[in-house]
Chain A
Amino acid sequence: MTMQIAEPVSLSSPDARARAHAAAARDNLRTEPRAVRVVIIALAIAFLSVFVVLPLVLVFAQAFSRGVLAYLSALAEPEALAAIKLTLIVAAISVGLNLVFGLVAAWAIAKFEFPGKTFLITLIDLPFSVSPVISGLVFVLLFGAQGYFGGWLRDHDIQILFAVPGIALATTFVTFPFVARALIPLMQEQGTQEEEAAISLGASGLQTFFRVTLPNIKWGVLYGVLLCNARAMGEFGAVSVVSGHIRGETNTMPLLVEILYNEYQFVAAFAIASLLAMLALITLIAKTVLERHLDEGQDVHDH
């Protein structure tokens, strides 16, 4: 590659000009010709626009294609309201469970050394990379009519599969990694000194946790909960396997999107989909804000 001619700099003193030249020459070692830059930026923007922006815009365009009234009446359908309610209940259960145990798991992994740690981390990560369908399948194998606990459950008249407990369990399984994953690096970085200091000054274990550990990681906790919640409300594959698709009873919002879409009720399907898309957008905005807080927290720690 040939040397680039530096941008014209309108500085009067020759000394300053020479310095500007040197700086520009150094920058030139780390950048590409203008044409290459433009092509790379154009490729990146085009790819993201086609694959990400267009689908998102389309959801809202389709939802409002028959006007606001049709949109609102689609959302006011009893079936839609039941799905929204179920989605909120399931999300509350699984976020609650994963918050508590994500905290404990992250604490154990970050603050203690023990054999098999890599294996444990792999286990925590597993729901991320296992097909959601398999996550649902394992619960069918456990609690289904032919499953290991199926007979016992039937004898005691407990319904897990095709009911709220099954949906909540599958969702909890799928969203398990979020809180723990958000906290492990944060807690590792902070080390154990502050906790040790608190305990040696006479604080009890619980006091140490609530007064020292928790304030240090509060943004991380929020971050994990946020992502966990987004996934819990949007989970499709795992829930689809265990739900049984009973209309008005065991359909969460994503399942209802599928049903309405397959029945060619496109406005209704995209109306529900638009709510989920809005949830995703709000989650992303909140995530950006939280990431800023997390970065600041780290900066304070560095100094």
Chain B
Amino acid sequence: MGLTLSWLSVIILIPLAGLFLKSLELSPEQFWNILSSRRTLNALRVSFGLAFAAACVNLVMGSIIVWALVRYRFPGRRIFDAIVDVPFALPTAVAGVALTALFAEKGWLGAPLAALGIKVAFTPVGIFVAMIFIGIPFVVRTVQPVLQDLDPEIEEAAGSLGASRWQTIIRVILPSLGPALLTGLALAFARAVGEYGSVIFIAGNLPNVSEIAPLLIVIRLSEFRYADATAIAVVMLVVSFVIIFAVNRLQRWAQSRIPAR
């Protein structure tokens, strides 16, 4: 017990406390000036805005994938099921260079898209694509077990009582999946906001346009502007702490909602 807490504090608490202490060295005014500078605001907007958009895409596509994997039988289903985890397991730098090469103007997908006049790599769209890539397993893996465990009798009851299939899905299945869907959305969002490796290659990294907040931290560090780096980091850290705390609460709530079997 004591050992756990001391290890936790050495490896997690002390470094985090250091971050907050460092940010306390700044006066509120300095802190505010750093955060409200145009470049910082734009970087935060790019990271949070695109991460939210990507998480929403993941929510929709993730639900479709879960539905196909759980409810239908098709050739290669088990392989596709395993493939969902690739973004988890693939090192982010590898994902970054691969996505960039894929969507670059001469890449396999970049070339046909360029012919249509769509530029993906080295634009904010590229960031969006990379964030979709890394977020997809979060939605699938949180929703999948819940859909698998869903009692088939509830659906049969709804159907035999005259509900249309669509009504059953919207009124019966969706509410049961609600907490899991929200959790998946939150996890995908949190991951995309902080993502660095798979994004920086494809982003183009143009200040104010396609520069993500984590990259701005790295740039400020390399300029030895530690205060700036710390201030941005504190904002991001507080947001991610709030998100996971909410997720843990959400899961407790979901568990208490479903009667123990």
Contacts and interface: CB of A to CB of B under 8 A. Distances in A.
A258 B243 contact: no
A265 B245 CA distance: 43
Contacts of A254: 91-94, 197
Interface of B: 1, 3-4, 7-8, 11-16, 18-19, 21-22, 61, 64-65, 67-69, 71-72, 74, 76, 80, 82-87, 89-99, 101-102, 107-109, 129, 132-133, 136, 152, 155-156, 158-160, 164-166, 168, 187, 190-191, 193-197, 201, 213-215, 217-218, 221, 224, 226, 229-230, 233, 236-237, 240-241, 243-245, 248-249, 252
Contacts of B168: 29
Contacts of B236: 130-131, 134
Contacts of A127: 12
Contact of B87 (A52, A118, A126, A128): A52
A280 B86 CA distance: 7
A147 B84 CA distance: 41
A283 B91 contact: no
Given A52-B136, A133-B217, A142-B18, A108 B159 contact: no
A83 to B, nearest CB: 12
Given A128-B244, A257-B97, 16 more contacts: A30-B156, A52-B83, A105-B8, A108-B4, A112-B1, A118-B249, A120-B8, A122-B248, A126-B16, A129-B190, A137-B221, A137-B233, A138-B18, A236-B91, A258-B97, A270-B97
B22 A129 contact: no
A131 B194 contact: yes
A2 to B, nearest CB: 9
Nearest to A130: B240
A130 B133 contact: no
Contacts of B84: 48, 52
Contacts of A62: 101
A207 to B, nearest CB: 19
A173 interface: yes
Given A137-B221, A140-B221, A257-B93, A123 B8 contact: yes
A182 interface: no
B97 A141 contact: no
11 contacts: A40-B67, A59-B97, A126-B241, A131-B240, A132-B197, A137-B230, A139-B15, A141-B15, A142-B15, A257-B94, A266-B101
